[in-house]
A and B are shown apart, each in its own frame.
Chain A
Amino acid sequence: MKRRSFLASSAGLVASVMVRPVAAIEQSSVLTALVKEYAAGAVVREGRVKFDIARLVDNGNSVPVEVTVDSPMTPQQHVVGITLFNEKNPQNDVAQFSLSHLSGRARVATRIRLATTQQLVAVAKMNDGSCWTHTVEVLVTVSSCIEE
């Protein structure tokens, strides 16, 4: 291989890495099925939801999470529910939250358990029935000093 063609081909390789979309991750089929069931026929779209969680978790016993949804929270337009599902715990349900326009802000924070590295999804249901999601992937390491 000539030097020039090598450079050209390796440049192409770098470019292909860099154009890979950073926003969306491919949702696991487990989560897709759970969201579909929860939506009960309503349209499910990605966006409007922000699922805040550490990407690297060093203790799965207590993982802080915060979910915020882009919504004016007026009587006309508000979030009615936020649901969290996990992919690989013994049970896929994490929690369901009910909100209303009285909340003022579409936000909830709690602490959850994660058995292993996996995906999670936050689903927000609006008062018009539409559903919005944010899927995240979390790496859970095993604590070194566990105690039995």
Chain B
Amino acid sequence: MARTLITVPRTAKRDEIIEIRALVQHSMETGYRRSSDGDLLPRDLIRRFTCRFVPRVAANSNAASTAGDLIFAATFHAAIAANPYLSFNLRATTSGTLVFSWEGDNGLAQTETVSLLIA
């Protein structure tokens, strides 16, 4: 499992625009490099990142809304640096859970959650 480092303020004021940072440990092997033995290193990339927001009320009400709203998504290619870093924003309106997902080659699929409290 890839190590991740997510930075989100613990609390925010209503309508405050917060900054979210997400760092994940991954080599982002391009498929163009060769090993010291001359073999081509197979491509191994994170392909997709999504960040969803699940409002606290919705999480308990019905299954359909637990997926939450997509607030940010990224499609990565080989030109994204190793240990991909992303920083983006969210207008905080209500307390809830941020769901971060990374998907990629060799079956990589990882999800992390962080809660956000509107003070």
Contacts and interface: CB of A to CB of B under 8 A. Distances in A.
Contacts, number: 95
Interface string B38-81: 00000000000000010000000000000001111111111111
A104 to B, nearest CB: 3
Interface residues of B, number: 27
Contacts of B89: 103-105, 107
B74 A86 contact: no
B103 to A, nearest CB: 14
Contact of B84 (A66, A91, A111, A114): A111
B90 to A, nearest CB: 6
Q: What's the interface size class on A, roughly?
A: 20 to 34
A101 B70 CA distance: 11
A94 interface: yes
A29 interface: no
Contact of A103 (B72, B76, B80): B72
A98 B73 contact: yes
A148 B77 contact: no
A62 B36 contact: no
Given A97-B72, A98-B70, A111-B85, A104 B90 contact: yes
A90 B30 CA distance: 10
A91 B80 contact: no
A61 B30 CA distance: 11
Nearest to A102: B71
Nearest to A83: B75
Given A94-B79, A109-B88, A110-B80, 16 more contacts: A66-B87, A86-B79, A91-B78, A94-B80, A95-B75, A95-B77, A95-B79, A95-B80, A98-B74, A103-B89, A103-B91, A108-B72, A108-B74, A110-B84, A110-B86, A148-B36
Interface of B: 17, 30, 32, 36, 53, 69-82, 84-91
